[in-house]
Amino acid sequence: MLHTVNKSPFESSSLKTCLSFAKSGSDVLLIEDGVYGGLSGSAHTSWVAEALGDVRVYALEPDLKARGLSGDRLIPGIEAVGYDGFVELACANDKIQNWL
Amino acid sequence: MSGSKKFMYINRHAPCGTVYAVEGLEVVLIGAAFEQDVCMAFIGDGVFQLKQDQDTADTGMKNFSPAYRALGDYEVNRLYVERESLQERGLTEEDLMPLTWEDEDEDWTEKSSIHVVDRAQLSDLMEEQDIILNF
Amino acid sequence: MKFSVMVSEGPYTHQASDSAYQFIRAALAAGHEIFRIFFYHDGVNNGTRLTTPPQDDRHIVNRWSELATEHELDLVLCVAAAQRRGIVDPDEAKRNGKDGDNIAPGFRISGLGQLIEAGIESDRLLVFGD
């Protein structure tokens, strides 16, 4: 299953809820303000990094760039992808849960 | 149409502050006519949608909460409420509206539509769906 | 693959419309089919042709209309949500005694059943909202 999260972990528990729901082997894509959840060196980094063994986490690169961030600010193991990568993730997973 | 699919409607918003709860409920009621396999999940502040005794009179807003009682008549009778979300908010099942449906196969016995389940069970249920819509 | 998308937020306040648009463009570019784009909640505000953003900003409504023409997309505004928010087509304007309509080219107004049908008919349904 593909999960998307579009909220910053600093204002919403969406990412935390998502990661506690996501089964091992799921894909989680951070989009919009959700990309802040992928930052290394933040107050939320440790629990996000902990989830990386179980689920694959991606961050939408155009949303990072728009916020003055780049892939090298992400927690190691989180991959930056473009909209084409978003489409590929949506195809590769048989269902999608958008955590709104 | 290409047969029956499993739909889960996930509600994570509280009832009054925004329109998502009531407009989400409208989708479920309309969708019932399509005879798909339908369930609803209430997670996070979404559990407040089912709180008993909602009275919006003094806010001037319409009280939509009685509409949840219609769900049983539309054969939407699996409302999964996340146990952890209730607990975090100091609520128990007794705080929720008693929502029921009548089981045609068991001489119209009245049964509760509300199923309090823990997060792990809800995660399993989510995995079984074809379409997940969030409101 | 056949995709449908629901857009739940209005343009210019929330990024949802932009994200949905970029996703759909990427899906079309990769050769996928878009069965339907359904606009709900404040998302119906994506479909008013009276929108007039400043010249140096993107025109979200026109962008949808152009994409619909180019790829023969089905852009549907939920009728109940649209009526509440003052988005009307000529038929709705007449039926409700309004002095004008404001639906943008390429959009149509229809019922919530169109969303359920999109879920049934598509391989994947994505929601872009708050």
- The domains of chain C, with CATH numbers, are 2-128 (3.40.1260.10)
Which chains share 3+ C-beta pairs under 8 angstroms with B? A, C
> In chain A, which residues have their Cβ closer than 8 Å to the Cβ of B10?
97
CATH code for the structural domain at A2-99: 3.40.1260.10
Q: How far is C16 from chain A (nearest CA, A)?
A: 8
Amino acid at B92: T
Q: What is the mean pLDDT of residues B20-47?
A: 95
Contact C126, C16 (CB under 8 A): no
* Interatomic CA distance for residues B37 and B52, integer angstroms: 27
pLDDT in tens, A10-42: 999 999 999 999 999 999 999 999 999 999 999
Q: How far is CA A17 from the centre of its chain?
A: 12
Q: Where in the sequence numbering do the catalytic residues of C fall?
A: 78
Domain ranges in chain A?
Answer: 2-99
> In chain B, which residues have their Cβ closer than 8 Å to the Cβ of A1?
126-127
Which chains share 3+ C-beta pairs under 8 angstroms with A? B, C
Measured between alpha carbons, how far is residue C10 from residues A70, B62, B135, C83, C105 in Å? 28, 23, 15, 15, 17
* Interatomic CA distance for residues B50 and A34, integer angstroms: 28
> In chain A, which residues have their Cβ closer than 8 Å to the Cβ of B129?
95
> In chain B, which residues have their Cβ closer than 8 Å to the Cβ of C125?
131, 133
Report yes or no: C126 at the B interface, CB cutoff 8 Å: no
Q: Which of B9, B13, B126, B133 to mutate to test the interface with A (most CBs of A within 10 A)?
A: B126
The two tokens of residue B128 are 């079984």
Chain A residue with CA closest to C23: the answer is A83
Q: How far is C55 from chain B (nearest CA, A)?
A: 32
ipTM confidence score: 0.97
Strand partners of residue A81: A60
* Interatomic CA distance for residues C1 and C71, integer angstroms: 15
pLDDT band at B2 (very low <50, low <70, confident <90, very high): low
* Interatomic CA distance for residues A76 and A61, integer angstroms: 15
| Domains of chain B and CATH, by start | 6-134 (3.40.1260.10)
pLDDT in tens, C66-106: 999 999 999 999 999 999 999 999 999 999 999 999 999 99
